[in-house]
Amino acid sequence: MSDDAEEGPASGSLDELGEPADDLGHMLGLGVLGAAFALAMWRALPRRHRGPAPTAAVSAVAAVVGYLAGYAVLGPPFDFLASIAALGLVGGAGQALAMRQDLPGALAWILASVIAYAVGGAGGVATAIAFGDQIAHALGGGVFPFAAIVAMIGAVAGLLSGVISGVVLVRLARSPAPAGPELRSSAAS
């Protein structure tokens, strides 16, 4: 078995720049990913909710912290999955707080976000494991094949988590609104 076969789908890409560059690439990439996810999700909320900047910043940090915790405890590929699940937790919590007045059961959105992001991330990693070597060999060495593999992971993860999140959000939006205090007190009279 060759060394390339043992290294996995991104073999020879950022590794050839050295471990510090690889680590920095992961931290910066995941931070940008976290902020981008938060900004994209916040665009769907009603305009009256305050700006997304705080959630984007917290999501960027959560992605990096989730990655580091996953790496320390379980190692690859669970480091990536922990990062994505942390994004689901932080993003879902921020969105649930913003939607709680407009959407019945908004707190269920937190769990749905964690599950959707984790399933999406797992699907993305599985796709990279299945096709990453072929992509890396077809495109040659360097950063470009690594970027193509990461883009593929993002596309699969986004598709899966978007479908799951969409189904949950539609169900939450269609559920009947709980009676407010003024309705409960008049119904009791």
49 part of a folded domain? yes
5 part of a folded domain? no
Say yes or no to pLDDT of 34 above 50: yes
What is the reported pLDDT for 1?
33
| Residues 95/41, Cβ–Cβ less than 8 Å | yes
101 part of a folded domain? yes
What is the reported pLDDT for 177?
62
Preceding peptide of 145 cis, ω within 30°: no
1 part of a folded domain? no
149: left (phi over 0), alpha (psi -120 to 50) or beta: alpha
Q: Torsion over CA of 112, 26, 153 and 122, rounded to 10 degrees?
A: -40
181 part of a folded domain? no
| Residues 92/84, Cβ–Cβ less than 8 Å | no
pLDDT digits (tens, 9 = 90+) for 45-81: 655 555 667 777 777 788 788 778 877 888 877 787 7
184 part of a folded domain? no
What is the reported pLDDT for 189?
45
Say yes or no to pLDDT of 113 above 70: yes
| Residues 156/135, Cβ–Cβ less than 8 Å | no
**Residue 182 vs residue 156, higher pLDDT:** 156
What is the reported pLDDT for 102?
74
What is the reported pLDDT for 115?
92
Residue-range definition of the domain harbouring residue 46: 12-176
Across the chain, mean pLDDT equals: 74
Say yes or no to pLDDT of 153 above 80: yes
